Structure 1
């Protein structure tokens, strides 16, 4: 592994901005028999039995183990992972909610002899990476050893016709590192070659690893024809607007000529939204919105108060789009405040999966609820292209070493973070991997915005 890292670090820029080492050099590097990876263990899936979600501690369930390198199959690539990041699916995996991920791996393992590799008594997690291609399997032509890449987390088989207009509809669609094994929180990762995208050249390894999952998810949810189809002039209500998902939605709204109405939970998070360029901000804690009277009863008067506050910020207009992901806690309010003919687009339910809303405000006002989930390859590529052009920026706030991934995941679980939390895998320190310092210099304040806020 040290030889691989040395080669990557030695691959400094030439006068033309290209890596000094070529594909043959990287292809000649020996691949070790094992590598370090962050795992959960199948025999510990019941370790938190009887505890509430908040009581469950990822630091107890996440391990850094030495694991064997998996067999490389057709259409796949083995990547040396310089950096990764923590997503909410890392939290779910670590606390075995809503169910242990080993059921996903078992079902995947029944698909084919090649898929059987994923059904193991340990699960290597992580759905983001930035790194360097080491090996490619048969049938891979676009990517070569030595290519600097990021990976999106859509894993598909595409043997069914259902997925060929939108790969997210493939019956065998899975999220890599969550519903498959060999994820990105590791020194090496196994991906399908159609997960790979060019690493943005002006970003460090840890910065490039941060956007993947959340940036692509926000792009499909808000911009794509498969989501809300945001247009110039739209008012967009964004829950958790300084968080992992919401921070990208806020940037897409601003870049696309829409007006984000940013909902946050503290003055500190409100300041982050202002620094991104947003002006309409609601601190729901300061204004003490309580959408539920008790565990079973919502309070429509709070919906109305919330809607009134939105109109104060928009000059009397209701929102065209609600960017939903909290779920149960906010969904009733989201349906209520959307304008007639507007869209509530949802990609998650971090506060609970059972949503309740008054259907009169949906059907009689011709509103739409749209469900979206991650992104197809084209959407992920477009979202990454905007990062590479410096139009959208990573929201990385803090970086941990691989050994402290449990603490990083704990921070996300307890909402102690801003934006995204990164993890150094093979990279020995932060700040490495920048290939275009001129573009970086133009956007340095935006790149460091969430770090400065932290």
Structure 2
């Protein structure tokens, strides 16, 4: 790997130089093991420790197929899907790899006794497979995590509808928490050059997800003037949703859990803040089996106090079970609840009278198609939307990084250095960076 890293750090290696590099037979990667899927049997979810299940080890370089690329990974990041993979919830990801492996001899490469995880990266293309024309060795890139086959007609209007749509590094192998990642060439996008490697890697999954869920016609189709309720408004997803609301002329109503997070939202330009710690809502009884509509009403009253009597046009929903009943209730007549993720539980409950009789819509949203991802990355590259990176770990400490996210002991995104020897490298556009340095560093140290 050293010859690859030397070429990247030199700053003057060209396409031919990268094309002539010898690729290693093995590389370091973060994995979970198939023979350990029962290791947390009987352990409560919150007590399952990713440090025990995530391994940093040498793995064999796979064969590169048509339409694919190898990327030397300078940095990656932690998402909830890596946490779910590491604790084998809600299911083991090896079932995904087995099913993918049955499609063809090419996809069989993914069905291994180990799973290389990670759905974000920034780095440099070091090899391309047959048929790749847009990208070449030496290109500095980030990757979105949508993997599609597009052999069926379903995905040719919206690639997220492809029957073989998967999330790279979660439902496929050879993910971004590694020194080398294997991606489809249509996952690649230009690296925002005013950002460091770790900053550029961090928006990825959550930025594209937030764009589709809130902005795209496939999600909330947000317009100027909309009141947008954003749960976890300073978090990984919510931090981008807040920026998109402000950037698009909407009014975010930011729900956070403490004053420090409220100040992050204010620093982005949000003015309407609800601190959950102060409100102490009890949407569910102590047994967690029955909801309290009076608490929904109390939330609605608080929102109208902030908005001057207006209700919510769009709810940016991702906590799931804990908040979903309240989200449906507080949305205005004809409004929209956009939902993904469900980090507090997948089994949602709500009173359908408030949905059906008031003509509200629930819109499901899952990641983003290539065009939506490209637009989201373009806004980052233009410094219209900024990273939410708060802390960066080395690859050897990825278990602790995942534990931070698992226990919500983090803010924004947690980055992971792969080949990059230290933070702060990779910036080419220093003038643009200097103009937006405070916004780029907004989440740092929080």
For normalisation by structure 2, the TM-score amounts to 0.99
Cα deviation, residue 268, structure 1: 1.2
Match of 2:380 among 363, 372, 387: 387
Where in structure 2 are the equivalents of 1:25-44 lying within 5 Å? Answer: 25-44=17-36
Match of 1:127 among 119, 123, 131: 119
The reply on whether 1:170 has 2:165 as its aligned counterpart is: no
The reply on whether 1:413 has 2:406 as its aligned counterpart is: yes
Unaligned runs of 5+ in 2: none
CA distance in 1, matches of 2:381, 2:412: 19
The reply on whether 1:375 has 2:368 as its aligned counterpart is: yes
Match of 2:346 among 335, 353, 357: 353
CA distance in 2, matches of 1:275, 1:417: 18
The reply on whether 1:396 has 2:385 as its aligned counterpart is: no
Q: Per the alignment, in what secondary structure is the counterpart of residue 292 of structure 1?
A: coil
Runs ≥4 residues deviating over 2 A: none
Where in structure 2 are the equivalents of 1:99-110 lying within 5 Å? Answer: 99-110=91-102
Match of 1:300 among 282, 293, 298: 293
Q: What residue in structure 2 maps to residue 326 of structure 1?
A: 319
Q: Per the alignment, in what secondary structure is the counterpart of residue 158 of structure 1?
A: coil
Cα deviation, residue 266, structure 1: 1.1
CA distance in 1, matches of 2:177, 2:191: 17
Cα deviation, residue 295, structure 1: 1.3
Q: What residue in structure 2 maps to residue 8 of structure 1?
A: 8
Match of 2:71 among 79, 88, 101: 79
Q: What residue in structure 1 maps to residue 435 of structure 2?
A: 442
CA distance in 2, matches of 1:56, 1:125: 17
CA distance in 2, matches of 1:103, 1:192: 21
The reply on whether 1:338 has 2:331 as its aligned counterpart is: yes
Q: What residue in structure 2 maps to residue 14 of structure 1?
A: none
CA distance in 2, matches of 1:441, 1:69: 39
Question: How many residues are matched?
Answer: 445
Q: Per the alignment, in what secondary structure is the counterpart of residue 375 of structure 2?
A: helix
The reply on whether 1:317 has 2:317 as its aligned counterpart is: no
The reply on whether 1:111 has 2:103 as its aligned counterpart is: yes
CA distance in 1, matches of 2:428, 2:231: 35
Match of 1:63 among 55, 63, 83: 55
CA distance in 2, matches of 1:314, 1:29: 59
Instruction: After superposition, give the CA deviation of every residue in 1:133-183 in whole Å (9 maximum; x if it has no partner).
Output: 000000000000000000000000000000000000000000000000000
CA RMSD of aligned residues (A): 0.5
Q: Per the alignment, in what secondary structure is the counterpart of residue 243 of structure 2?
A: helix
Once structures 1 and 2 are overlaid, which stretch shifts more, 271-280 or 361-370? Answer: 271-280
Q: Per the alignment, in what secondary structure is the counterpart of residue 54 of structure 1?
A: helix
CA distance in 1, matches of 2:192, 2:29: 25
For normalisation by structure 1, the TM-score amounts to 0.98
CA distance in 2, matches of 1:368, 1:287: 27
